[in-house]
Structure 1
Amino acid sequence: MKKALLSVSDKEGIVEFAKELVKLDFKLLSTGGTFKLLKENHIEVLEVSDYTQSPELFEGRIKTLHPKIHGGILYKRDDENHKNQAKEYNIEKIDLVCVNLYPFKKTTLMSDDLDEIIENIDIGGPTMIRSAAKNYKDVLVVCDILDYERIIKTLKEGKDDEKFRLDLMIKAYEHTANYDSYIANYMNERFNGGFGASKFIVGQKVFETKYGENPHQKGILYQFDDFFNHHFKALKGEASFNNLTDMNAALNLASAFDKAPAVAIVKHGNACGFAIKEGLLQSYTHALKCDSISAYGGVVAINGSLDETLARKINEIYVEVILAANVTKEALAVFEGKKRIKIFTQENPYLVRPYDLYDFKHINGGFVYQNSDEVSEKELKNAELKSERKASEGELKDLEIALKIAALTKSNNVVYVKNGAMVAIGMGMTSRIDAAKAAIMKAKEMGLDLEGCVLASEAFFPFRDSIDEASRVGVKAIVEPGGSIRDDEVIQAANEYGISLYFTGVRHFLH
């Protein structure tokens, strides 16, 4: 008779799975709470301690760590030496191992008690999973409750071939690697400020993209903590690799102002339009004015509901992607005849984004890792006034918008905002004065009047030339980090032109 060892922390579906295994002539072994649950449901099962004739020890820390368990899992069925040893030591084969692990992560979210957290580090579970996975040709290893039905169906059909078992083996090692990675990362976060000797980046596959950045590259979306499962629904079209990176930039910007009716337009990772007006329709209209040429084929992120009126306005030009907090049926119908447009929703009142504590970037041979950047709510409030003139209340609101856009835009950049809308932006330049000039030139092309606008820079102005340039178009207030050896010249220039100048002391490079 075949044997199956069942020992699970998450007991959802285990009773049904056990009953089906019994029907398939499996003899069941189990431990602790799983054993108790199976007995309560009148399922014939033998407790592991009775099977091994060895008691559970040290408050259950030792239960399955026994030669009759691991020998039964690990010995090679087609190896005569292994078979003889198994017979000599009365070790019977175990053909299926179903284990999921102590809820370490859940415990860390619910408790800060280190002793309790340590007790929820599973030892026997990962060991059994790894043993079964190593001997996958002879042993089925089960660690995902979503696989129960598929495994029973496969066993009934006699299709549990090596390929099927190999897939389960890979999933098993992914499972234990994920588990150990979370423990290591948690301990480094708790005791080493998040920066240990090793760093483990773990994600779960969501879907494959058609290709990567280019057609010859493969692309896949992986997620942390189920974010995309809960906050990303495709209503029309499939997201490409490049769509996802652009949507990320648009989401970060559109969601940066709480419940404000913000609309962001992004192309190639940078904002080409942004506004917060009295409503989403007005916000989109003013966002589009900043650079309607670049907006063509771009991504629009809407911090609220995409309704029919706004949909008709957006439909006047070609945008490739719309990401909205929610979408009405009437709005979706507007785009029914447009094959190329893609529409995604989070099905929330407002856009939400996860805040990852850390950020990383691949470089050849490894990756660089850092705390995530963020414009704090107090950054502008605590900024130091360096000029003689103070900004008005309206200018301060515009400075906040400009500052957040600048922080989320490729360096070097400068951002011009007027009455709640971005009116010019220069980004990704090798010099700040070039960014300033490029932004002003684009604004002129778009027929936008910059008189009375504000300006933000994500890093300090190395020379006064950008202030001189700002004065020519009527900039009234500027926010920047400060810290240049020529800050005095920059302050002097601001005073010459009657421009309000604030230093935040915080740089926001984005490379």
Structure 2
Amino acid sequence: MTALLSVSDKTNIIFFARELIAIGYEIISTGGTLKTLQEEGIEAIEVSSYTQSQEMFGGRVKTLHPRIAGGILYRRQNSEDVKIAKEYGIRDINLVCVNLYPFKQTIQRTDDFEEIIENIDIGGPTLLRAAAKNFQSVLVVSNPSDYDFIIEALKSHQNTLVLRQKMMIKAYEHTASYDVMIANYMNKTFKEGFGDMHFLAGKLVGKTRYGENPHQKGAYYEWEDFYSKNFKTLKGELSFNNLTDINSAVKIASNFGESKAVCIVKHGNPCGFAISDTLLDSYRQALRCDNISAYGGVVAVNGEVDLALAQEMGKIFFEVLVAPSITKEALEFLMPKKKLKIFLCGEGYLKLPKDAKNFKHIEGGFLLQESDEVLSDEVKNAQCMSIKKATNTQMQDLGIAYKIAALVKSNCVVYVKNRAMVAIGMGMTSRVDAAKAAIIKAKEMGIDLQGCVLASEAFFPFKDSIQEAYKAGVSAVIEPGGSVRDEEVIACANENNMALYFSHKRHFLH
């Protein structure tokens, strides 16, 4: 039995090689892998010695040889293939262990294009694809995390067709994701990220109980390793809808850096948000906005959950709590609550990776765009269009309202007072209807809007929204501007002694 070992990631390769030899394998190896094995006293045949062909072109050509490819690809049940293998002295290579040059690490580390090109693996993908193609007879291993599992299978004589099928799929996934990474990098480098083809490659993190509805299957994937490394389940089973709601809540709460922010989300939309001096007070202020919708929702806490906060939260039913950490006492208090799910996200503060691009599925394809982001100086540099200027407190509230509005489904308006969201209208077909709906809800909640500020993610096409805002008690407004009726909107703000700011940047979220 012959095993070909040629790995870039040498994690546990010494263990794997020794175990293979103990089972009865002879090893063929090359380059750095061969050197690593020899330094540990492990006997291995050098590829160039076996092929009688030296490595060429600075190592670009090593394993691309008929005695290697043939030993992997020839059909063991085909008499003509067997005859040719014997005629040319081609070994039966029935185990191939290969992982690929670190292209991802290279593009993260350097912009040197020549170095990047040299870290595009050619021989490795060829070996993996060949072994995977001939999985009927060849076992292919492409991930060091599988070494223990493979050795146990070989020792117990369980090198079955089912096992080889499983490893074949892993090998093709490995080469496919590698090619996707290279193609997307080249498109980013030469075509601004929008090439003739764009590829999405995600790694399975886990399956969800079902999709959005019980009759739909579901699972979640990650681009890099954020969820497998930075997201932890403490209690409960993560559902498809939980993940979308958690994403919305954490995106909003984490958008304010290290502030003691709390965001409450229901069905993907925020129904509460506040920043205060303590997380407990932030939670109380956030809950005031709409404690009816908050029932059964998701709470994102941008800091450690202690016992006092846990006890306050325990007064109503939430489906999900997500925070960077939770004290032992708080966890013990919340654990008996049967339907509550608890997850950790980030470290110290809530954290989400910021993807450079995002996409939306449409039937038959998808839309790709650069991700939207509210820049740190957008509110600070917003242009005052009114006679009256906002106070420092109002500007702080405008900044909070503006960021939230950018993360809420259009058409939307967000009302903030004393760093707490006091009303919100979102996902409406009319902006004035969004404003009215928010005001009606605030009245139902018994919230006084007098002196609050208002943010809109897009311009107000008519002055009616400003009029409604004034009637509700809004003192300052921020919006992008850009309507053909901007002058009417500005005049209305001045007539009502309101501060009005244009950011000159729209943040639609459809």
Quickly name the TM-score band, shorter chain normalised: over 0.9
Matched, 1:137 2:112: no
Amino acid in the other structure paired with 1:494: A
Q: CA deviation at 1:303?
A: 0.4
Equivalent residue number for residue 174 of structure 1: 173
User: How far did residue 193 of structure 1 move?
Assistant: 1.0
The residue that corresponds to 1:244 in the other structure is 243
Q: Does 1:156 align with 2:155?
A: yes
Shift of 1:480: 0.5
Q: SS of the counterpart of 1:293?
A: coil
Q: For 2:412 and 2:437, how far apart are their aligned partners in 1?
A: 10
Distance 2:151 2:323 in 1: 41
Would you say 1:326 and 2:322 are equivalent positions?
no
How far apart are the structure 1 equivalents of 2:90 and 2:257?
A: 63
Aligned counterpart, 1:127: 126
Q: Secondary structure at the match of 2:148?
A: helix
Contact 2:325 2:344 in 1 (8 A): yes
Query: 1:114: which partner in 2?
Result: 113
Instruction: Tell me the SS of whatever aligns to 1:367.
Output: strand
Find the counterpart in structure 2 of residue 310 from structure 1. 309
Deviations 1:112-138 (A, max 9, x none): 100011001110001000000000111
- Distance apart, 1:89 and its partner CA: 2.3
- Partner amino acid for 1:508? H
- 1:313-352 CA-to-partner distances (Å, cap 9, x unmatched) read 0000001000011100111111122110001113621111
Residue 66 (structure 1) aligns with: 65
Amino acid at match of 1:279: T
Query: Are the counterparts in 1 of residues 325 and 347 from structure 2 also a CA contact under 8 Å?
Result: yes
Whole-angstrom CA distance in 2 between matches of 1:192 and 1:19: 47
The one-letter code of the counterpart of 1:328 is: T
2:168 match: secondary structure:
helix
Q: Distance in 1 between matches of 2:439 and 2:456?
A: 14
Question: Is contact 2:324–2:346 with CA below 8 Å preserved after alignment?
Answer: yes
SS at 2:70 equivalent? helix
The answer to whether the 8 Å contact 2:320/2:342 transfers is: yes
Deviations 1:238-263 (A, max 9, x none): 11100000000000000011111000
Distance 2:344 2:317 in 1: 19
Distance, in Å, in 1 between the alignment partners of 2:498 and 2:162 is 70
Q: What residue in structure 1 maps to residue 31 of structure 2?
A: 32
Greater displacement, 380-389 / 435-444: 380-389
Deviations, residues 444-489 of structure 1 (Å, cap 9, x unaligned): 0000000000000011111111001001011111000111111111
**Letter aligned with residue 297 of structure 1:** G
Partner Cα distance (1:140, 1:50) in 2: 23
Distance 1:163 1:121 in 2: 31
Give the whole-Å Cα distance in 1 for the aligned partners of 2:337 and 2:39: 58
State the match for 1:485 in structure 2. Answer: 484
Cα contact 2:477–2:498 (8 A) shared by 1: yes
- The one-letter code of the counterpart of 1:65 is L
Contact 2:346 2:352 in 1 (8 A): no
Measured in 1, the distance between the counterparts of 2:265 and 2:221 equals: 22
Distance in 1 (alpha carbons) for counterparts of 2:460 and 2:382: 16
CA distance in structure 1 between the partners assigned to 2:353 and 2:36 by the alignment: 37
Check whether the contact 2:153–2:159 (CA below 8 A) recurs between aligned residues: yes
1:381 to partner: Cα distance: 1.3
Q: Is 1:475 paired with 2:474?
A: yes
C-alpha distance in 1 between matches for 2:336 and 2:139: 49
Question: What does residue 508 of structure 1 align with?
Answer: 507
Aligned to 2:401: 402
Mapped pair 1:223 → 2:222: yes
SS of alignment partner, residue 281 of structure 2: helix
RMSD across aligned positions (CA): 0.8
Q: Take 1:180 and 1:326, find their aligned partners in 2: how far apart are those partners?
A: 38
Q: Helix, strand or coil: the match of 1:490?
A: helix
- Listed as ranges, the matches of 1:92-491 within 5 Å are 92-346=91-345, 348-491=347-490
User: Could you say what secondary structure the match of 1:128 adopts?
Assistant: helix
1:75 and 2:74 correspond: yes
SS at match of 1:122: coil
Deviations, residues 414-447 of structure 1 (Å, cap 9, x unaligned): 0000000000000000000110010000000000
More deviation in 86-95 or 154-163? 86-95
TM-score by length of 2: 0.99
Structure 2 partner of 1:51: 50
Q: CA deviation at 1:189?
A: 1.2
Provide, for residues 287-321 of structure 1, a one-character-per-residue CA deviation record: whole Å limited to 9, x for no partner: 00000000000000000010000000000000100
How far the C-alpha of 1:492 sits from its partner, in A, is: 0.9
**Cα offsets for 1:69-98 (capped at 9, x unmatched):** 001100110011211222222222100000
Between the aligned partners of 1:84 and 1:191, the Cα distance in structure 2 is 48
SS in 1 for 2:59: coil
> What is the TM-score of this pair, normalised by structure 1?
0.99
Structure 1 ranges of 4+ moved more than 4 A: none
Amino acid at match of 1:183: I
Structure 2: give runs of 5+ residues left out of the alignment.
none
Whether the 8 Å contact between 2:73 and 2:130 is mirrored in structure 1 is yes
Say whether the 8 Å CA contact 2:97–2:140 is kept in structure 1.
yes
Q: Using the alignment, how far apart are the partners of 1:347 and 1:487 within structure 2? A: 42
Q: Which amino acid aligns with 1:316?
A: K
In 2, distance between residues paired with 1:173 and 1:347?
32
Q: Does 1:7 align with 2:15?
A: no
In 1, the alpha carbon distance for the partners of 2:338 and 2:478 equals 43
